[in-house]
Chains A and B, each alone.
Chain A
């Protein structure tokens, strides 16, 4: 059974940083593109970043380019999102998701990031 479990969210002040983690199981992690997708009540679902199976390619939505870094450790079946210089508009539930043709066929339960002073 495919499972994805995120962690690392929390309350952080504007300008702060967090590192989100996602542990995968139930499939060959190194064979898949992986992504982070966030959800807010106001903006709905928003794709944030994608990483290639070997980690050599990373892609971001413009609003996070230069502030967020997606990475992975295939040996640890883990996906990461380093988020720096946080803004209020980054407040969201962050999901780790497995990609299939740039759709998202499995999702974790999400980890909440709240940016507030």
Chain B
């Protein structure tokens, strides 16, 4: 199974500042001939289900604000919130969709400093 490791477990960022979340996979997520990274990012607010933010490591879903960006390749990935807003307080998860079983990182809780 591919193990997904996120860091940090939590971070507190001032409003308007940058938040950076890391995700590392135990195997390369460049797992097909299409040269795509099979990595997604989700946001989960309290009492709500997860929401898909980013697919293929860097492609924002429709309606996702452009302050959210994904980067990285192979085994190391980053989710960046360029200017933290109050509504961004949530837990963020990465997920690999390279191979069954599809596995998630442990989550990173983002709070306001």
A44 touches B107 (CB 8 A): yes
Which residues on the A side are within 8 Å of B38 (C-beta)?
Answer: 101-102
A45 touches B50 (CB 8 A): yes
A109 touches B102 (CB 8 A): no
- CB of A77 within 8 A of chain B? no
- CB of A11 within 8 A of chain B? no
- CB of A100 within 8 A of chain B? yes
Asked, given contacts A44-B93, A44-B107, A45-B93, whether A105 binds B52 with beta carbons under 8 Å apart, the answer is yes
Which residues on the B side are within 8 Å of A108 (C-beta)?
Answer: 49
Closest A-chain residue to B6, C-beta based? A44
- CB of B95 within 8 A of chain A? yes
B107 touches A103 (CB 8 A): no
- CB of A88 within 8 A of chain B? no
Q: How many residues of B contact A (CB 8 A)?
A: 21
Task: Choose among A47, A50, A101 the residue that contacts B103 (Cβ–Cβ < 8 A).
Answer: A47
Per-residue interface assignment for chain A, residues 104 to 115, with 1 indicating a CB less than 8 Å from any chain B CB and 0 otherwise: 110111100000
Q: What distance in Å separates the Cβ of B43 from its nearest Cβ neighbour in chain A?
A: 12
B52 touches A109 (CB 8 A): no
- Bound complex: CA A13 to CA B93 (Å): 31
- Bound complex: CA A62 to CA B100 (Å): 10
- Bound complex: CA A46 to CA B93 (Å): 11
Q: How many residues of A contact B (CB 8 A)?
A: 19
Q: What distance in Å separates the Cβ of B8 from its nearest Cβ neighbour in chain A?
A: 15
- Bound complex: CA A22 to CA B100 (Å): 23
- CB of A59 within 8 A of chain B? yes
Query: Chain A interface (Cβ within 8 Å of chain B)?
Result: 44-47, 50, 59, 61-62, 95, 100-105, 107-110
Given contacts A45-B93, A61-B101, A109-B49, 19 further A-B contacts (CB under 8 A): A44-B93, A44-B105, A44-B107, A45-B50, A45-B107, A59-B100, A95-B49, A100-B52, A101-B38, A101-B97, A102-B38, A103-B52, A104-B50, A104-B95, A105-B61, A107-B50, A107-B51, A108-B49, A110-B49
23 A-B contacts, Cβ less than 8 Å apart?
A: A44-B93, A44-B107, A45-B93, A45-B95, A45-B107, A46-B104, A47-B101, A47-B102, A47-B104, A50-B100, A62-B101, A95-B49, A101-B38, A101-B97, A102-B97, A102-B102, A103-B52, A103-B95, A103-B97, A104-B52, A107-B50, A108-B49, A109-B48
